[in-house]
Structure 1
Amino acid sequence: MTLSAIFQDSFLLKQGLVAVLLLIITRYVIRFLFRKSRPPLPPGPYGFPIVGALPLIGSMPHVSFAKMAKKYGPIMYLKFGSQDMVVASTPEAAKAFLKTHDLNFSSRPIDAGVHHLAYDGQDMVNAEYGPRWTLLRKVCNTHMFGSKAIENWAHVRVSEVGLMLQDMLEASRKGEPVLMPTMLSYLTANVIGQVVLSRRVFATNSSESNDFKVLVVEMMKYAAVLLVKDIIPALGFLDRGTERKMKKLHKQVDAMITKMIEEHIATSHERKEHPDLLDVILTYRDKPDGERLSIENIKGLLLNLFVAGTDTSSSIVEWALTEMLKNPTIFKKAQEEMDQVIGRDRRLEESDIPKLPYLQAICKEVLRKHPSTPLNLPRLASEDCVVNGYFIPKNTRLQVNIWAIGRDPDLWENPLEFTPERFLTEKNKKIDPRGNDFELIPFGAGRRICAGVRMGMVQVEYVLGTLIHSFDWKLPEGVKELDMEEIFGLTLQKAVPLSAMVSPRLAPNAYV
């Protein structure tokens, strides 16, 4: 190569390096100027190198976030490795995200928990906001969650609650305590089973139904876990043990769901005149592309119905009974109201509930103090936006701290006390927990509000009311104090399951 050629190559190389350097400088200048001109990020803790604020949240994130919000304010920004997160902790902040900017926050992040446990986000709860999610929601609303569907399936709730009462009477006769979480999950799974599959999932309240409850709690616990790979992808190898557990849980649940579908298809000829929800859903496998559901969509939907649907209402009723056992005067007041409206010669009926304001107040109070999902299921910013004067970058993860809103002393007098009477005052009696009053949003709000909010409220009010009306309650012999510790997951479980002694208080014919 000649000297002139070498010089020419060297000159071209220098030109190239200068061009690259200018490009980098220009990008940083533009980014700097953009940052100077845009609103600030919300305040929040600085955190640590690489991992960010992760070490600050501990094993009870809803509690940690509530404490941080007192220092940093109602909208708080945190950095977890490469992930941005914003936490809303007041009704006004929640409303800004879930109403004013609802459309921009209508999708969910697909993290490792969703990938391993929920068919990679093909279910209704985690599906990307769009036509597929709309179709899944529409099918469920028409056949299960809509007002007409809820009314049509009232006889199933009556039947299953009656069977639960029989099991509790038997325990009473034997002088044995009743383990409420197992009893309640058995009831709820069978209600859902009859609507979705035209059959009960569990023939008896046995070890099988107890195993199901354990499986559901494990699923909810691991579904709330943020793995290291979600935050720092390069360190994903540290998650191997947790990922193995997630895969094992998914395998167990998938086997259960696959068996349901296979058995259902084999007996579909028996339901030609009266198809159930799964029959209807399965017809969408053969629809045109725009309306077609994959087998993963169908399995994911069943996962939502049986796992999330079972856990939420069961845990709410268990917490309510626990709070009333701590304060027997609430039990007595609720029973007196029911005796006056219903008497003791028959069971409570769903049509009685509007005439029982104290029962309704108890249900609202438990939803305030013990929301089934303490942190609203995460959402994702589809685009950059400005919320209440703060810049929220695209792909920021949103968490609404429902638990903190329910315990905010600026909103609620003596928020740590279980006081149903607060919902009988002129100020609070019109507050509705179905997503419009942001002081009380246990089911979320906006487009991604829990699909089963109506059914959940009916189930909680009817089941809890029946249990209060039908039995007198006390702690088992030797148990002097109730454990109120929580286990964090997608749902807020009692660390120690509620076990109680019951004795019938109605006429014998009311239990038949």
Structure 2
Amino acid sequence: MDWVGAILGLLALVSVLQAWLSKSKNKKKRLPPGPRGFPLIGNLHMLGKLPHRDLHRLAQKHGDIMYLRLGLAPVVVASSPQAAELFLKTHDLVFASRPPLQAGEHMSYGQRNLSFGAYGSYWRAIRKMCTLELLSSHKINSFKPMRKEELALLTKVIQEAARDHVTVDLSGKVASLSADMSCLMVFGKKYMDKEFDERGFKAVIQEAMHLAATPNFGDFIPFIAPLDLQGLTQRMKGVSKVFDAFFEKIIDEHIQSTDQERTKDFVDVMLGFMGSEESEYRIERSNIKAIILDMLTGSMDTAATAIEWTLSELIKHPRVMKKIQKELENVVGMEREVEESDLEKLEYLDMVVKETMRLHPVAPLLLPHAAIEDCNVNGFHIPRKSRVMINIFAIGRDPSIWTDAEKFIPERFHGSNIDFRGRDFQFIPFGSGRRGCPGMQLGITVVQLVVAQLVHCFDWELPNNMLPSELDMTEEFGLIVPRAKHLLAVPTYRLQQQ
């Protein structure tokens, strides 16, 4: 394997030369402050299993606009509301693109989806299509009966467990509910695991999310990408092959379908634009498959993780649980289950969900932005092609903004106009600007509805006489950051028996 050592030695030399040339080129330009790095790897060694926490600690030392080098890639991290506003509003257009990533190339059909796609005319067209055709208020409302039916099925299963005083895997149940809802919206039907892959539908989605989040040496040191030293490319190609075969089957089923009366799902809508010369979207099969994957990953894990963390915080804080149940008793009553029309009246529920997303943002670093051109931000030179990370985990814990920032206090949002829409940069769980999440309204609706139903219909206790304060709140690494351990709890049915 001497040739490997020779190649790596040569690459290290190239890295040093490139870094020196870059430094010489920018010596008259003021880069943001940041930690010193090593040749070739830069600051990669400083990031562990939970990068959002590592970057938060580094920012406390180096500042809210911080410069690092991950391999050969220049990276800027914004860790305050003021810094986030500069990148996502003041200079939004400059940072509206995405960097080229192996995950996007191999698993998103050459970055043809909404999440990873480079900024340009194609991306603007599919963004418009997703916003107006797939995620409009009208389309979201058309699936309201489905959400009610699926949630009723879950409630019935948990009610049976409550009758026998059986421990429920809440993380697993919520994940299955979210997967079923996503499949019904995107595909029009639920699919059994065996119809997808022997590992199961949820497992392969999680594998894709994990691969997309894993720091890939090939992304940061492009010269070594063909070597696939971590084996990530091979795994990405394997996952992509599974998805592609499944999506081909889905598209063929929709093309051959003769049922004209069913509610049109997302695939139906996109097929209506395929091959049409009159459509401004002009999408083909590969585009549809890329967007299908986007819709699945964007709706399944994100909603499930937000629900999981909210229920965890409620169980850990009985005072808050009792308060939200009291509101539900007053608004909904004890004779029926929660309806979506109740949500706008549940002010404390809104505070609870906001506080959870402040403490546990589903995607704590959002997705990386890329500088389209050189830019001066707050007096700092940001070179073209720099990657920009917005650390909303750090922003949510900034003590200069949030009193008792590490504590779960929903009342901090009482009387506040702060919302989810990306206008208040101290609270941007869905991002902001051109790259803000278009599925925000759908996501919030699902999270609030499921949480309201599960805490209205049931009291929850931890198993084995565990105290609420003993609940493990450790995170698990990923593009989406869920609990490391599943949330297990014992339900007791609360509503009056019909």
* 1:375 matched to 2:365: yes
**Contact kept in structure 1, 2:193 and 2:200, CA below 8 Å:** no
* Identity rate, percent: 39
**Contact kept in structure 1, 2:338 and 2:453, CA below 8 Å:** yes
1:286 is paired with a residue of what secondary structure? Answer: coil
Equivalent residue letter for 1:437? D
1:262 is paired with a residue of what secondary structure? Answer: helix
2:14 paired residue number: none
The Cα offsets for residues 16-40 of structure 1, whole Å up to 9 and x where unpaired, read as xxxxxxxxxxxx999968742x4x0
Aligned length: 475
The Cα offsets for residues 205-258 of structure 1, whole Å up to 9 and x where unpaired, read as x99999333322222111112211212233332525222222222223333322
- Output the CA distance in 2 between the equivalents of 1:443 and 1:337: 26
Q: Identify which of 417, 421, 424 aligns with 1:437.
A: 424
2:463 is paired with a residue of what secondary structure? Answer: coil
- Output the CA distance in 2 between the equivalents of 1:171 and 1:110: 47
- Output the CA distance in 2 between the equivalents of 1:285 and 1:117: 21
The Cα offsets for residues 65-99 of structure 1, whole Å up to 9 and x where unpaired, read as 10011111110011122211000000000000000
1:212 paired residue number: 201
Alignment TM-score, normalising by the size of structure 1: 0.87
Q: Identify which of 471, 484, 493 aligns with 1:495.
A: 484
2:252 is paired with a residue of what secondary structure? Answer: helix
- Output the CA distance in 1 between the equivalents of 2:421 and 2:37: 36
Give, in angstroms, the shift of residue 406 of structure 1. Answer: 0.7
- Output the CA distance in 2 between the equivalents of 1:235 and 1:160: 47
1:303 paired residue number: 293
* 1:342 matched to 2:329: no
User: Superposition pairs for residues 288-299 of structure 1, below 5 Å?
Assistant: 288=277, 291-299=281-289
The Cα offsets for residues 149-195 of structure 1, whole Å up to 9 and x where unpaired, read as 22232222111111111121122233322212221222222222332
* 1:82 matched to 2:69: no
Q: Identify which of 213, 218, 227 aligns with 1:229.
A: 218
Q: Identify which of 434, 444, 460 aligns with 1:447.
A: 434
- Output the CA distance in 1 between the equivalents of 2:26 and 2:182: 52
- Output the CA distance in 2 between the equivalents of 1:29 and 1:460: 50
2:265 paired residue number: 276
**Contact kept in structure 1, 2:165 and 2:492, CA below 8 Å:** no
RMSD: 2.5
* 1:172 matched to 2:162: yes
Gaps of 5+ in 1: 1-27
- Output the CA distance in 2 between the equivalents of 1:253 and 1:113: 14
Gaps of 5+ in 2: 1-19
**Contact kept in structure 1, 2:186 and 2:296, CA below 8 Å:** no
2:473 paired residue number: 484
Distance of aligned partners of 1:350 and 1:274 in 2 relative to their CA distance in 1, 3 Å threshold:
closer
- Output the CA distance in 2 between the equivalents of 1:176 and 1:104: 54
Q: Identify which of 390, 415, 424 aligns with 1:400.
A: 390
The Cα offsets for residues 295-341 of structure 1, whole Å up to 9 and x where unpaired, read as 22111111111122100010011011111111111111110111112
**Contact kept in structure 2, 1:202 and 1:209, CA below 8 Å:** no
**Contact kept in structure 2, 1:186 and 1:202, CA below 8 Å:** no
1:21 paired residue number: none
**Contact kept in structure 1, 2:97 and 2:370, CA below 8 Å:** yes
Is 300-309 or 386-395 further displaced after alignment?
300-309
The Cα offsets for residues 424-454 of structure 1, whole Å up to 9 and x where unpaired, read as 1x4xx21102211111101100011111011
Equivalent residue letter for 1:250? S
- Output the CA distance in 2 between the equivalents of 1:349 and 1:381: 44
2:94 is paired with a residue of what secondary structure? Answer: helix
Q: Identify which of 275, 300, 304 aligns with 1:286.
A: 275
- Output the CA distance in 1 between the equivalents of 2:21 and 2:205: 51
Q: Identify which of 87, 102, 108 aligns with 1:118.
A: 108
Is 218-227 or 142-151 further displaced after alignment?
142-151
Q: Identify which of 442, 454, 457 aligns with 1:470.
A: 457
Q: Identify which of 129, 135, 141 aligns with 1:145.
A: 135
1:504 paired residue number: 493
**Contact kept in structure 2, 1:86 and 1:397, CA below 8 Å:** yes
Distance of aligned partners of 1:350 and 1:92 in 2 relative to their CA distance in 1, 3 Å threshold:
same
Q: Larger % of helix: which?
A: 1
- Output the CA distance in 1 between the equivalents of 2:80 and 2:396: 9
Distance of aligned partners of 1:202 and 1:336 in 2 relative to their CA distance in 1, 3 Å threshold:
farther
Q: Identify which of 349, 364, 368 aligns with 2:354.
A: 364
2:55 paired residue number: 65
- Output the CA distance in 2 between the equivalents of 1:80 and 1:207: 36
**Contact kept in structure 2, 1:110 and 1:120, CA below 8 Å:** no
Distance of aligned partners of 1:103 and 1:168 in 2 relative to their CA distance in 1, 3 Å threshold:
same
**Contact kept in structure 2, 1:182 and 1:209, CA below 8 Å:** no
**Contact kept in structure 2, 1:172 and 1:502, CA below 8 Å:** yes
- Output the CA distance in 1 between the equivalents of 2:487 and 2:457: 18
Equivalent residue letter for 2:205? V
1:409 paired residue number: 399
* 1:459 matched to 2:446: yes
Bigger CA radius of gyration: 1
- Output the CA distance in 2 between the equivalents of 1:188 and 1:494: 16
Equivalent residue letter for 1:173? R
Q: Identify which of 81, 86, 101 aligns with 1:91.
A: 81
Q: Identify which of 187, 191, 212 aligns with 1:197.
A: 187
2:7 paired residue number: none
2:4 paired residue number: none
- Output the CA distance in 2 between the equivalents of 1:212 and 1:274: 23
**Contact kept in structure 1, 2:307 and 2:447, CA below 8 Å:** yes
2:259 is paired with a residue of what secondary structure? Answer: helix
1:116 is paired with a residue of what secondary structure? Answer: helix
